[in-house]
Amino acid sequence: MLNFERPGDELRDDEFPDEPWDADEADDSPTIACPACGAEIFDDAEQCPSCGHWLTDADRQSTPRYSRAVVVVFYLAGALAALGLVLMLFGIL
């Protein structure tokens, strides 16, 4: 059996970052749509991870910036509106 961890390999307290990375905090970062493929990318990205397009300052200025939270709210509002329409069609509402 292979064991790659040996006693003493653990991180010391001074080796941990001051503030742990928080996924919820990253969700509020502003994003833009890649002008080449339309993928949602962070607005400070230099290159699109999806298609490899290098972003210029002109790309950033011409593309609207939305945080992920705003995008999620719009998707949820659209889904609720669609659900309401379906329920109205079947006479449930």
* Average pLDDT, integer, range 51-62: 83
* Average pLDDT, integer, range 37-52: 88
If DSSP states are collapsed to H, E and C, what string results for 20-54? CCCHHHHHCCEEEECCCCCCEEECCCCECCCCCCE
Q: pLDDT higher for 78 or 60? A: 78
Q: What predicted TM-score, i.e. pTM, was given to this entire model?
A: 0.39
Q: pLDDT higher for 73 or 9? A: 73
Between CA 84 and CA 86 the distance in angstroms is 5
Residue 26 confidence (pLDDT) above 90:
no
Q: pLDDT higher for 17 or 36? A: 36
What totals of helices (H) and strands (E) does the chain contain, helices first? 3, 3
* Average pLDDT, integer, range 44-71: 80
